[in-house]
């Protein structure tokens, strides 16, 4: 395993990689994400476990998306079962992935707790319970401040967990060590990740808005304009999740260790 430091422009290459791999197997990628959304949505509707299930499966989803991108790069067929990568990596890796999932859930809840210091828990109730924020939190700006505080608090969490799933599954690292390596490696390449994040933010903000604007100028209704922008949003999201592997490939290396059985 190699740990690399790359130029800032590498972040743009990661973005481009996502689009290239989406173009290779677009329908397979779409089927994969539909399966992920359907299963997550179904379990989320269940009492108790449904509240935190979307957070618990993020780490399993991450390694599944990375494996999907890896298979596309290797010209292998892609099926929704790729999402089971974290579950099929062997007993030890599965235990470590479950630990990662629990730690990630606790970390996100802590992040939302930071936001609650500013908005009185409005965002926490919105995300977990679907409760509409009180009008007062919007009017006085406390909801906005809570969102900003939570976003800033989430940055170190994101860095620690970004590369942790492949380190656990493909390199047999224990969870805490994987989190440490991921955080250090991401911090060492913070400029590349900043370029990567800004590029995706601009794409998600500009392209759907452009579609809606053009459709509106051509006389389309607001509902039709929003509908026309949906394929673009879906394509962007698919390219985004398929770009995860490019950062791993660039910073650690394409040749992964054999998972522990």
Could you tell me if residue 106 is inside a domain? yes
Could you tell me if residue 71 is inside a domain? yes
If one counts the domains in the chain, the total is: 1
Question: pLDDT tens across 230-250, in order?
Answer: 999 999 999 999 999 999 999
Could you tell me if residue 5 is inside a domain? no
Q: Which of 142, 29, 138, 53 is nearest to 104 (CA)?
A: 53
Neighbours of 34 (CB within 10 A): 12
Question: pLDDT tens across 82-121, in order?
Answer: 999 999 999 999 999 999 999 999 999 999 888 888 878 7
Could you tell me if residue 261 is inside a domain? no
Q: What is the mean pLDDT of residues 20-29?
A: 96
Q: Is the pLDDT of residue 257 over 60?
A: no
Structure tokens at 153: 């608090």
Domain interval for residue 34: 10-251
13: left (phi over 0), alpha (psi -120 to 50) or beta: alpha
Q: Which of 258, 255, 230, 248 is nearest to 6 (CA)?
A: 248
Q: Is the pLDDT of residue 5 over 80?
A: yes
Q: Is the pLDDT of residue 201 over 50?
A: yes
Could you tell me if residue 2 is inside a domain? no
pTM for this entry: 0.89
Q: Which of 247, 234, 241 is nearest to 61 (CA)?
A: 241
Could you tell me if residue 23 is inside a domain? yes
Neighbours of 9 (CB within 10 A): 10
Any residues with CB less than 8 A from the CB of 189 and at least 6 apart, and which?
4, 5, 6, 10, 251
Q: What is the mean pLDDT of residues 118-139?
A: 77
Any residues with CB less than 8 A from the CB of 92 and at least 6 apart, and which?
172, 260, 261
Could you tell me if residue 105 is inside a domain? yes
């Amino acid at each position: 395993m190699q740990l690399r430091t790359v130029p800032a422009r590498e972040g743009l290459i990661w973005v481009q990689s996502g689009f290239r791999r989406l173009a290779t197997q677009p329908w397979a990628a779409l089927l994969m994400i539909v399966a992920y959304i359907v299963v997550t949505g179904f379990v989320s509707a269940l009492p108790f476990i449904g509240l935190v299930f979307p957070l618990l499966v993020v780490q399993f989803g991450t390694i599944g998306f990375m494996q999907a991108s890896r298979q596309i790069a290797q010209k292998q067929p892609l099926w929704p079962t790729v999402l089971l990568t974290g579950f099929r990596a062997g007993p030890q890796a599965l235990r470590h992935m479950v630990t990662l999932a629990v730690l990630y859930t606790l970390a996100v809840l802590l992040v939302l707790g930071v936001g609650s210091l500013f908005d009185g828990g409005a965002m926490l109730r919105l995300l977990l319970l679907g409760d509409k924020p009180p009008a007062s939190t919007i009017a006085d700006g406390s909801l906005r401040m809570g969102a900003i505080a939570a976003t800033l608090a989430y940055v170190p969490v994101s860095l620690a967990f970004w590369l942790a799933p492949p380190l656990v599954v493909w390199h047999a690292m224990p969870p805490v060590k994987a989190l440490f390596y991921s955080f250090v490696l991401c911090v060492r390449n913070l400029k590349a990740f900043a370029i990567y994040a800004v590029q995706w933010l601009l794409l998600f903000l500009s392209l759907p808005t452009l579609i809606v604007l053009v459709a509106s100028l051509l006389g389309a209704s607001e509902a039709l304009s929003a509908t026309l922008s949906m394929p673009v949003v879906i394509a962007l999201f698919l390219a985004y999740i398929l770009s995860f592997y490019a950062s791993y490939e660039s910073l650690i290396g394409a040749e992964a260790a054999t998972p522990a059985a």
